[in-house]
């Protein structure tokens, strides 16, 4: 199981397609992967997302082979990749 450690959240230019990231969710173990797509325009008001199924901003290809979608507050640039 992944451990939780204190890491700095980055909401700037470092968080972009190609960045290695740590994804943290309240009820799940931490996972690491690479951002493969930014759906930012779909998350803005007036975008093409739906109220009943809002778009998550980041598509992340995990190291274990899964693809997940996460919001910015769940994603931190992977501190082990600096």
Kind of pairing between the strands at 75-77 and 20-23? antiparallel
The DSSP 8-state label assigned to residue 70 in this structure reads E
Distance separating alpha carbons of residues 81 and 35, to the nearest angstrom: 13
**pLDDT tens, residue order, the chain (82 aa):** 444 444 445 444 489 999 999 999 888 899 999 999 998 877 765 555 567 777 789 999 999 999 999 999 999 997 666 5
pLDDT at residue number 4: 45
Q: Which pLDDT belongs to residue 53?
A: 73
The predicted model scores a pTM of 0.71
């Amino acid at each position: 199981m992944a451990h939780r450690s204190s890491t700095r959240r980055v909401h700037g230019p470092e968080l972009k397609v190609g960045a290695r990231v740590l994804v943290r969710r309240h009820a799940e173990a931490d996972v690491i992967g690479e951002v493969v797509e930014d759906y930012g325009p779909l998350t803005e008001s007036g975008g093409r997302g739906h109220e009943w199924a809002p778009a998550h901003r980041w598509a992340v290809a995990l190291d274990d082979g899964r693809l997940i979608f996460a919001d910015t507050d769940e994603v931190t640039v992977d501190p082990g990749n600096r």
